[in-house]
C-alpha cells in the first residue's frame, strides 16, 4: 500500500510505502478521517471493488473487463471477427489507447465500447439489413452473457464479504449534521446491495418499494426516519441509510413496457425474455443515452453533488475511463475550493497502470504544485478498506439525541399520557 499527497512531498518523497500502522496513521489516517468527517461524502466505485472477491487467479468469481470480452467472444465464436469488421472496431478503439505508455498501436479489448458502436450502427441504420441483423443478434447474446457473468454474488462465501461489509458499515454511518452517503458505481453486479443487506443498511436507489418496482428519481429526495426519535417535528434520522446510484445500469434492471424496472427475488433464467436488460455503456453512444432516465437523473445528481460546499469524493477501483465522469471531477477541482479528492486503486503508482494516464498526470501534477485537497493511494479495495480505522463511538449529536430520547421515555414512565 502506497500513498502520494502533499504530506509525502513535504517529506521529500512521492509515493511512499505504508509498511506499518504508524506510517498509516501518519499519512493515510488524517486524510481518510477528513473524508469521513466531511458534510457531503460521495463515493465512486469501479470494477476494482468487485475484483477483490477473486481470492486466487484460478477461482475468478467477479469478471474483469477483459474477462467479459473473452466471454462475449466465446459466446459468439463463429461470428465475432465479422462483428469487429462490421463495426470497424480496431480503428475506432484507437481513441481509447494512451500513446504515452509505449510506441506503436496496440489492440485494446473493450466490450462496452464495442456494444456502444453496435448500438450506434443499429440506431443510424448504416449497414445492410443482413449485417444489421447480425449486429442485433450479437448485442442480444452479449448482453445476456454479461448479465449472467456479473450475477455472481450468490456464489460468494459468507467470510469473503468482510471487506464489502466493513466498507458499507463505515461509510454509510453518518452523523446527524452530515448528508447521506451518495455511492455512485459503474458496476452491474449486486455486491453493494448484498453487503448493505448483510449490515442492515437501508438503500435508497431511486426505485419504488414494490415488485416490480419502477425507477422514479423523486425517491432520492426522500429519507427514512425513526418515528420514536421524532419530537417537536424534528426528524429522527436513522444512521444506516445510504443512496445508491448505478450509473451504468444493473443486472436486475430491465425495460418493462417502456419503463425501467427492477426485478428482485427472481432467477435471471426465469425472467420474461421480452424484457431488455438495461446497460449503459461508457462509449461513443453515451451522448444519446444521456437524454434518457435513469442515466440523466444519476449523472445530474453526480454533477450537482460535486459542486456543493464541504464535499469529498472517494474513488475506489475506478480507472477514469469515462470522459463524462472525468470532466465532472476535473471541473469540481477547478471550481469548488472546498472539494477534496482521494483515489484508491491498484497499481496507480506504476508507470503502466489501468488508470487513465491523463487523469493520473493531472492529479499528480496538482499534488506536486501543493494542492493539499488530493491524495492518491496505490492499494486494492481490500487493502484500502482494511486500513480504515473503525469509528464505533457515536458523535456528540448522536449522543444528544439518544440522551433526549431516554429522557423522554423516562418522563412517560412517571407521567403517562
- Return the half-sphere exposure (C-beta side, CA atoms, 13 A cut-off) of residue 19: 2
Sign of CA dihedral 382, 355, 248, 90: negative
Q: Which pLDDT belongs to residue 83?
A: 94
Cell readout for 83 is 462483428
Cell of 335: 471550481
Are 15 and 378 in contact by the 8 Å Cβ rule? The answer is yes
* Alpha helices (H) along 241-343: 286-289, 295-306, 323-335
Phi, psi of 311 (to 5 degrees): -120, 140
User: Cα(274)–Cα(255) distance, rounded to whole angstroms?
Assistant: 9
Predicted local confidence at residue 93, as pLDDT: 74
Q: Where are the beta strands (DSSP E) in 247-364?
A: 249-256, 259-262, 276-279, 311-316, 340-345
Q: Rounded to the nearest 10 degrees, how much is the dihedral formed by the CA atoms of 59, 64, 70, 74?
A: 60
Q: Please, what's the b/e burial string for 36-75 (b: 16 or more CB within 10 A of its CB; e: otherwise)?
A: bebebbbbbbbbbbbbbbbeeeeeebbbebeebbebbbeb
> CA–CA separation, 8 vs 227, rounded Å?
47
State residue 273's pLDDT score: 61
Structure confidence at residue 38 (pLDDT): 95
- Which pLDDT does position 97 carry in this prediction? 46
Q: In terms of DSSP H, where are the helices of 11-99?
A: 21-23, 29-37, 65-75, 80-87, 89-92
Measured distance CA(52)–CA(255) in Å, rounded: 30
Which tens digits make up the pLDDT trace of 359-416?
999 999 999 999 999 999 999 999 999 999 877 645 444 555 455 556 666 665 666 5
* Ranges of the chain with pLDDT below 70: 57-58, 94-107, 229-235, 265-274, 282-291, 392-417
Domain ranges in the chain? 2-56+157-396, 65-149
Residue 207 C-alpha cell reads as 426505485
- Between the two ends of the chain, the Cα-to-Cα distance in Å is 59
Which pLDDT value is given to residue 386?
94
Peptide bond just before 294 cis, omega within 30 deg: yes
For cell 500500500, name the residue.
Answer: 1
Question: Are 335 and 29 a contacting pair, CB within 8 Å?
Answer: no
Amino acid at each position: 500500500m502506497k500513498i502520494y499527497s502533499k504530506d509525502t512531498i513535504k517529506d521529500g518523497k512521492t509515493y511512499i510505502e505504508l509498511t506499518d500502522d504508524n506510517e498509516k496513521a501518519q499519512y493515510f489516517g488524517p486524510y481518510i478521517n477528513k473524508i469521513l468527517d466531511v458534510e457531503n461524502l460521495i463515493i465512486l466505485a469501479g470494477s476494482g471493488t468487485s475484483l477483490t472477491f477473486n481470492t486466487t487467479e484460478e477461482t475468478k468469481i467477479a469478471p474483469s473487463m477483459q474477462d467479459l470480452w473473452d466471454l462475449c467472444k466465446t459466446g459468439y465464436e463463429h461470428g465475432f471477427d465479422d462483428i469487429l469488421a462490421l463495426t470497424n472496431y480496431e480503428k475506432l478503439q484507437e481513441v481509447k489507447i494512451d500513446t504515452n505508455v509505449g510506441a506503436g498501436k496496440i489492440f485494446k479489448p473493450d466490450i462496452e465500447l464495442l456494444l456502444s458502436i453496435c448500438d450506434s450502427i443499429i440506431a443510424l441504420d448504416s449497414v445492410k439489413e443482413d449485417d444489421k441483423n447480425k449486429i442485433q443478434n450479437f448485442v442480444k447474446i452479449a448482453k445476456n452473457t454479461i448479465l449472467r457473468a456479473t450475477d455472481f454474488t450468490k456464489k460468494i462465501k459468507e467470510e469473503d464479504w468482510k471487506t464489502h461489509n466493513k466498507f458499507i458499515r463505515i461509510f454509510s454511518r453518518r452523523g446527524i449534521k452530515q448528508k447521506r452517503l451518495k455511492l455512485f458505481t459503474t458496476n452491474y453486479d449486486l455486491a453493494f446491495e448484498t453487503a448493505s443487506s448483510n449490515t442492515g443498511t437501508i438503500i435508497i436507489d431511486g426505485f419504488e418499494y414494490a415488485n416490480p418496482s419502477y425507477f422514479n428519481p423523486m425517491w432520492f429526495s426522500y429519507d427514512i426516519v425513526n418515528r420514536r426519535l421524532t419530537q417537536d417535528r424534528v426528524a429522527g434520522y436513522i444512521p444506516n441509510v445510504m443512496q445508491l446510484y448505478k450509473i451504468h445500469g444493473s443486472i436486475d434492471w430491465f425495460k418493462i413496457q417502456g419503463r425501467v424496472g427492477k426485478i428482485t427475488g427472481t432467477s435471471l433464467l426465469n425472467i420474461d425474455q421480452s424484457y431488455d436488460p438495461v446497460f449503459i455503456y461508457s462509449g461513443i453512444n453515451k451522448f444519446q443515452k444521456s437524454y434518457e432516465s435513469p442515466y440523466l437523473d444519476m449523472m445530474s445528481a453526480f454533477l450537482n453533488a460535486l459542486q456543493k460546499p464541504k464535499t469529498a469524493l472517494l474513488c475506489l477501483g475506478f480507472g477514469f475511463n469515462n470522459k463524462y465522469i472525468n470532466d465532472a471531477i476535473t471541473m469540481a477541482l477547478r471550481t469548488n475550493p472546498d472539494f477534496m479528492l482521494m483515489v484508491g486503486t491498484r497499481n496507480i503508482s506504476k508507470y503502466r497502470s489501468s488508470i487513465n494516464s491523463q487523469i493520473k498526470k493531472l492529479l499528480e501534477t496538482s499534488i506536486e504544485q501543493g494542492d493539499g485537497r488530493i491524495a492518491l493511494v496505490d492499494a486494492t479495495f481490500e487493502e484500502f478498506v482494511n486500513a480504515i480505522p473503525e469509528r464505533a463511538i457515536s458523535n456528540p449529536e448522536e449522543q444528544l439525541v439518544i440522551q433526549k430520547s431516554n429522557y423522554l421515555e423516562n418522563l412517560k414512565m412517571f407521567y403517562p399520557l
